[in-house]
Amino acid sequence: MKYTVGYAASLGEKDVISAMEYARLAGFEAVELSMNMPCFFPERYSQEDKRAILGFKRESGIEITIHAPEDISLVSMHESVRKAGIGRLKEIIGFSGEIGASRMTLHTGATPYFTLVEGVGYVQDEHIRETVRNLREGITTLACVASELAPRLSICIENSGYFPWYIQEALADIMDSQDIFLTWDIGHSYENKYGEQYFFEQNLDRVKTCHLHDFNEHGDHKIIGSGNVDFKGHMKKLGAQDIVYIVEVRPRDNAKRSLSILRDMV
C-alpha cells in the first residue's frame, strides 16, 4: 500500500519552498507548514512568491498541508479575542487556497485551567453550553470561508491538548451537517486520556490527516520505533486513500530518520 507521508515543518525553517525541497530530498511526499512560524506567515509572500510555490508544487509533486497557529482558541470565553483569532484563521485559509494546500489541521484550543489539590479544573467545564456554542460558531464560519477562498482545502480538527467528551460530541454533531474533517494524532491518543480512540474509530471516514510520532516513558513526539505506538495497525486501519500522514518528530532530521524506520514497518 502506497502511503502519502510528510514531515512537520516548524523550527529551523526558512520559507515554504525550502521546506518543500527538504521534503523532496528526504523522501517525503508532503509537508505540513506550521503557521506558528513567522517564516510561513501569509503576509511574507507576494503574488510572485505564491506563483513560485505553485510552480514548485507542480514540479516536485510535494503535497502542501497546513497546521493552524496553536495560540488561537475557538472556545475562548473572551469574544473579542476569539473573533480576532478567527480573523487570522481566515487569512491563513485564503493563503492556503492560493498555494494549493489540501488540508489544514486546527486545534479547538482550551480555556485556562486551575491547579487543584487533586488534578486540574478547566474554566470551560463550568460553561459547557457556551463552549460548544463558540466551537460550533467558529468552525461553521471557517467552513464557509474555506468554501469561498479555498474550496479544495479540508478543515481538519485535531485531538490535541484538552479533548473532553463534550468536545467530541460537538464535533460529531458538526460533522453530520458540514464538510468538516479530522486529524488523528495517534501519539496523543496513545494513553486514551479522554476516550478519544473510540471517537476516531467511529469516524474513520472523516480522518484526512494522521500525525505520527512515538510515545515512550519519556513522553510523546519521539522517534518512530522508540516507543509503543502501533503504527502499522493504525495505518492499515486508516488506509492510503485521501489521507496524509505527517511525521511530527523534531528537529526535521529526526523526521527523516523516522521515515526510514516507518517504511520498514509498513
Residue 47 has pLDDT above 90, yes or no: yes
- Class at the top of the CATH hierarchy for domain 4-265: alpha beta
Please state the pTM of the whole predicted model.
Answer: 0.97
53-84 confidence digits (pLDDT tens): 999 999 999 999 999 999 999 999 999 999 99
141-168 confidence digits (pLDDT tens): 999 999 999 999 999 999 999 999 999 9
Per domain, the residue ranges of the chain are 4-265
Of 39, 25, 13, nearest to 250 by C-alpha is: 13
Q: Which three cell numbers mark 75?
A: 472556545
Strand 113-115 and strand 63-67: pairing?
A: unpaired
Cβ proximity of 156 and 106 under 8 Å: yes
